[in-house]
Homo-oligomer: A and B are copies of this chain.
Amino acid sequence: MVNRCLITPARTLLTQTINPSLRNGFPAMTEARVLVLDADPLPRLDRLGARARVLHTDEKSLAERLPEADVLLVWDFTSDAVREAWPGPGGRPVWVHTASAGVDRLLFPELLESDAVLTNARGVFDQPIAEYVAGLVLAMAKDFRGSWELQRQHRWQHRETFKVHGSRAVVVGSGPIGRRIGLLLGAMGVRVDLVGRRERTGDPDFGRVHATGALPDLLPEASWVVCAAPLTPETHGMFDARAFALMRPEAHFINIGRGQHVVEDDVVEALQERRIAGAALDVFAQEPLQDSSRLWDAPNLMISPHMSGDTFGWRDDLAEQFLDNFDRWYAGEPLFNVVDKKLGYVPDH
């Protein structure tokens, strides 16, 4: 899902930064400096060819190397180092790309106020995450975990389980990940209410998209509550005791957004007190999840290590997506997946 945004043409930015005299020169002659904040394994960037000099850095050397860079590729999207290392005016990358859908780690005032364009990996994770969520819904409805537990004990114990068709889901987050989740659940016969920042009607897939203000009416109706929202001040901590109290005792909660969407103590309590039937968390306020976390042993809670979007080849897809955007940038064309810094995500149009 490509999102085009008319921004200051990249070539202008590039040439301004590297060599103002090349404004009308041949881009092939210009060598852009692409700095990669490394994570294992490194991205395959051969396709950059002579167009760029690729520099690598770890978190420690980031502050030192950042002023040299035209482009910063945040390959280690789990890092908070960019905020610390962000240089003063004059020595900044003109374009920051993060290999993640969430951009919350990059929404610090100095970057927001700068002219640097911020792009993200919107699109790469939509289908994998939607499959992951659909799988969780079905696994919870059919009690696969119960079957595995019983199998470990060599016990044959027939149970009745839930039909998913005709059940209701609330998906919070109307970006491409939330939409894809909603579409896949809908294809399974689930009635989906999609919730976004603003209410809108006439959505081609969902008809009405609800505003978050409608959640008190929607949550009590849902068997499945899915968080796929961007992390913004408005969504931070939105799944708290109050939200869980609105859910049905049969409801299951799934978070593939960000750990900070959830008050973790509150979800533990809701599960312990059987106020909801189950939950699955793929993201956590602190990752990796600490050994001491109460979450590990909370009843009817499935923990997975931030992997819902990471299907085989995902890193190649992320690198290809950056390279596609680099092609545009280098050619002076508008970038896609440009984050609206005020909103904190890539808007739909």
Interface residues of A (CB under 8 A from B): 127-128, 131-132, 134-136, 138-139, 141-142, 144-145, 147-148, 150-151, 154, 156-165, 184, 187-189, 287-289, 291, 296, 302-308, 310-314
Contacts and interface: CB of A to CB of B under 8 A. Distances in A.
B151 A303 contact: yes
Contact of A148 (B148, B156, B312): B148
B291 A151 contact: no
A77 to B, nearest CB: 13
B165 A127 contact: yes
A142 B148 contact: no
Contacts of A148: 145, 148, 302
A159 B156 CA distance: 31
Contacts of A135: 135, 138-139, 141-142, 144
Contacts of A160: 307, 310-312, 314
Given A131-B188, A135-B138, A151-B303, A289 B161 contact: no
Given A132-B142, A158-B310, 15 more contacts: A127-B189, A134-B188, A138-B139, A139-B139, A147-B303, A147-B305, A148-B148, A148-B302, A151-B296, A151-B304, A156-B288, A156-B305, A161-B311, A162-B312, A163-B311
Nearest to A288: B156
Contacts of A132: 138, 142, 161
Nearest to A310: B160
Nearest to A139: B139
A302 to B, nearest CB: 7
Given A138-B134, A138-B138, A304 B147 contact: yes
